[in-house]
Structure 1
Amino acid sequence: MSYSLTAITKNSTQQLEPGPSVPGQKVTLSKNMTNCTTKISITTQRFNSASKMTFSCVENSGIALEEGSMVQFVDNGTQIFQGFIFTAQRSLGGEVEYTAYDQTYYLKAKASYTFTNMTLEQIITQLATDFGLTIGTLEPTGYVFPCLIKDNTECLGMIYDALSTVIVQTGKIFVFYDDFGKLTLKEVKNMLVQQMLGNKSLVTDYTYKRDISSETYNRIKLVRPNKETGRGEVFMHDDTETQAKWGLLQYYDTVDENLNDAQIDELCQNYLAYYNRVVQSINISAMGVTGLRAGNIIPVRISQIATLSANRLLLAEKVTHNYEGANIHTMSIEVKNFEQLGGASWI
């Protein structure tokens, strides 16, 4: 096999491997799960979700791995996934399916924070420190939040909400993820994959879709609260051309009362530039490419789709890798909004 799956259990009273043991003694145990594993699935998403791995093993009795055990998956020498067992279920036939999530799962805890004059990198660092998580590379975004208040909110949601604001304010796309046990923030221009995907290059099937039913808006309406008058001050930008074609699709939100008129007006313009488009998406089934994950930029060419008939760089929203047996490795990739990325010049 080209891959390996290792489980590490700390402070365990179980015995995963044969040999002498002391009853009640807590030890750190390591077990190679590769040969007993029948199938593995690893899913990464660009927004709002921890990376997830499920794998199935045939075990003689019981459930071998304890909750909280660390699992590490390496393919062809590339470190793919590190996470922790959260669920295990056994069938009558002796097959046990485990589900593991990476360390960002711990940020699903709710909390209340006020971040003042902080960058996204600093926000991630504070949350990681508070929850005892490991930090890796955090690339600078160049944007400072004057004041970001989050009350009784999932910490992971705080990060992704802030990330969305950074993308709109800077015009740069960043990806937050766990890189084999290290919290990472990277600009997608630094995550280009060289392998071309297309009709004659790894792709086995695809589904293409055009949509304005969600995440498309041609009116942006932002309201700034005014405590003195008790009424909100409205800021609005329209695109009458697309309104004539699609109807009026309104985005509405409230903004920080400390933002001035120019800042809110700029925010309206940025939102309209981002959301005033047809959302194009494509789901691709292909032979597996080791290490490809959500957030990667992928060169794609599919002759039957006009907007993809020439080489295009697509941003992977969701990627699932499936391994079965020793030699089968396939993947599915979800991509959307690729009309805004353009071609190679975008990088």
Structure 2
Amino acid sequence: MSVTNTRGEIILPSGVITPHDNVRFVTEQGSAGTLYFTADEHIKTGENVTFRYGGTDVFKGVVFKYEYGHEKLYKYTAYDMLRYFENKDTVEYVGMTASKLLLRIAKQYGFTTGEIEDTKYRIAARLEDGVSLYKIIDYALTLTSGAGFGEFVYYDDCGRLCLKRMTSLRCGTVMTPSVCTDFSITVSIDKNYYNKVKLVQTSGTGRHFFIREDMERIARDGVLQYYGRLSPQENGTSVAINLLNSLSTPKRSIVCTCTKGDLTARAGAVVTADFGDGAADYFCERAEHIFGSSYTMKLNLSAL
């Protein structure tokens, strides 16, 4: 959905206020959705806020921080439900899909859920001890993807925890030079690129290592190793092969600033871009929406 009306309002339990200056709504992979706004009114930490733009609810969350100075304007930072995924916990599960695991965590923590797609792949057994909810769910989704069941994205949709197949989250705007005031393209092996995978599995008979490597890429790039741990029930050979296949491609990324915002552009969505070298689909790593005298957005995209 594209929106051109630049009016926005902050809705509180006590009423509606008009923000000063720009309102920024940021979604980023692996982080909570964040709303930045400034207002005359004092809002306590922990208070629920909704940002509505052009008649559409864009964000629902909780104020976590505010600051102010002599001008008596309060600068607020609010996060959506995913902020609570920074909580650490111990979770053990057997024969459970990532979607069922997410529903289990949502029930335990009292999260409201929306559409949760069935990820289908049953994970043999996992013990996650003292790690964040992010890491628990992310690893379950990594195993699901590695087993060939597709890529899934979880996110907060205005107060509802959702899980969808990545291909069903698509931005409605194609990124081209005609809609972007600026763009830059980068090709890199600096982050999230590995040409060797080493996994360790501990069982009653000791420690076993599963190693897969791309010798051609190692000869060219040097050894860039991914290291991970497996539960005793996991198929180490299969996991290592799937991880190497998904991690051994150089990363192509685009940063673009758009003259017109589109609320379907969010972290986790698929965005089509064509900057003169052919149209291709990209994964949205980060989306920043700026609501002011006009509505614009800045996207960080990585090749699928």
Please give the TM-score of this superposition, normalised by the length of structure 2: 0.92
Q: CA deviation at 1:5?
A: 2.2
Cα distance between partner residues in 2 of 1:196 and 1:213: 27
Q: 1:159 aligns with which of 137, 140, 148?
A: 137
**1:44–1:52 contact (8 Å) kept in structure 2:** yes
Cα deviation, 1:57-84, whole Å, max 9, x if unaligned, reads 2x2xxx5212222111222333311111
Deviation at 1:321, TM superposition (A): 0.8
Q: Could you tell me which of 3, 7, 10 is aligned with 1:6?
A: 10
Is 2:99 the counterpart of 1:126? no
Conservation of the 8 A alpha-carbon contact between 1:4 and 1:33: no
| Preserved CA contact (<8 Å) 1:7 1:69 | no
**Secondary structure in structure 1 of the residue aligned to 2:154:** strand
Residue 233 of structure 2 corresponds to residue 258 of structure 1: yes
CA displacement at 1:302 relative to structure 2: 0.5
Q: Counterparts of 1:126-145 in structure 2 under 5 Å? A: 126-145=104-123
Rounded to whole Å, the distance in 2 between the matches of 1:188 and 1:78 is 23
- Corresponding residue SS for 1:225: strand
Say which of 280, 300, 303 aligns to 1:334. 300
Paired with 1:38 and 1:240, the residues of 2 have a C-alpha distance of 54
Aligned to 2:250, which of 278, 285, 288?
A: 278
SS in 2 for 1:241: helix
**Alignment of structure 1 residues 55-74 onto 2, 5 Å:** 55-57=37-39, 59=40, 64-74=42-52
Residue 14 (structure 1) aligns with: none
Separation in 2, partners of 1:329, 1:294: 18
Q: How does 1:319-330 map to 2 (within 5 A)?
A: 319-324=287-292, 327-330=293-296
1:154-185 per-position Cα deviation (integer Å, ceiling 9, x unaligned): 22332222222222222511110000110000
The 8 Å contact of residues 299 and 312 in structure 1, kept in 2 or not, is answered as yes
Residue ranges of structure 2 left out of the alignment (5+ in a row): none
Q: CA deviation at 1:189?
A: 1.2
Pick which of 75-84 and 311-320 moved more: 75-84
Q: Which amino acid in structure 2 is aligned with residue 43 of structure 1?
A: V
- Corresponding residue SS for 1:198: coil
Other structure's SS at 2:232 match? coil
Contact 2:6 2:294 in 1 (8 A): no
How many angstroms apart in 1 are the aligned matches of 2:16 and 2:196?
56
* Paired amino acid for 2:12: I
Q: Which runs of 5+ in 1 are unaligned?
A: 10-28, 304-308, 342-347
Q: In structure 1, what is the equivalent of residue 198 of structure 2?
A: 221
- TM-score normalised according to structure 1 size: 0.81
Does 2:202 correspond to 1:236? no
Deviations 1:285-314, CA, capped at 9 Å, x for gaps? 1123231211121121112xxxxx111111
Q: What letter corresponds to residue 182 of structure 2 in structure 1?
A: D
Q: What SS does the aligned partner of 1:158 have? A: helix
Deviation at residue 223 of structure 1 after TM alignment: 2.0
Larger radius of gyration: 1
Letter in 2 for 1:158: I
Q: Which amino acid counterpart does residue 256 of structure 1 have in structure 2? A: S
- Counterpart residue number, 1:93: 71
Identity of aligned residues (%): 24
Match of 2:165 in 1: 187
Name which structure has the greater RCO, CA cutoff 8 Å, separation 6+.
Answer: 2
- Could you tell me how far apart the structure 2 residues matched to 1:217 and 1:171 are? 22
Corresponding residue for residue 267 of structure 2? 294
User: Which secondary structure does the structure 2 equivalent of 1:197 belong to?
Assistant: coil
Give RMSD over aligned pairs.
1.7
Match of 1:45 in 2: 28
Please say if residues 94 and 123 of structure 2, whose CA atoms lie closer than 8 Å, have aligned partners that are also in contact. yes
Following TM superposition, by how much is the alpha carbon of 1:256 offset from its aligned partner in structure 2, in angstroms? 1.2
**Secondary structure of 1:100's partner?**
strand
Deviations 1:103-159 (CA, angstroms, capped at 9, x unpaired)? 121232222111222111111111111111101100111111221211122223322
Distance in 2 between residues matched to 1:223 and 1:157, nearest whole Å: 18
Question: What is the DSSP-based 3-state SS (H/G/I as helix, E as strand, rest coil) of the residue aligned with 2:147?
Answer: helix
In the TM superposition, what is the alpha-carbon distance from 1:225 to its structure 2 partner? 1.6
The count of aligned residue pairs is: 299
Is the contact between residue 173 and residue 262 of structure 2 (CA under 8 Å) also seen in structure 1?
Answer: no
**Which residue number in structure 2 is paired with residue 205 of structure 1?**
182
Residues 226 and 132 from structure 1, CA distance in 2 versus in 1: closer, same or farther, beyond 3 angstroms?
Answer: closer
Looking at structure 1, the residues matched to 275 and 68 of structure 2 have their Cα atoms a distance apart, in angstroms, of: 42
CA distance in 2, matches of 1:91, 1:235: 57
**Distance in 2 of aligned mates of 1:250 and 1:274:** 13
Which amino acid is 1:79 matched to? D
Q: Provide the rounded CA distance (Å) in 2 between the counterparts of 1:103 and 1:184.
A: 11
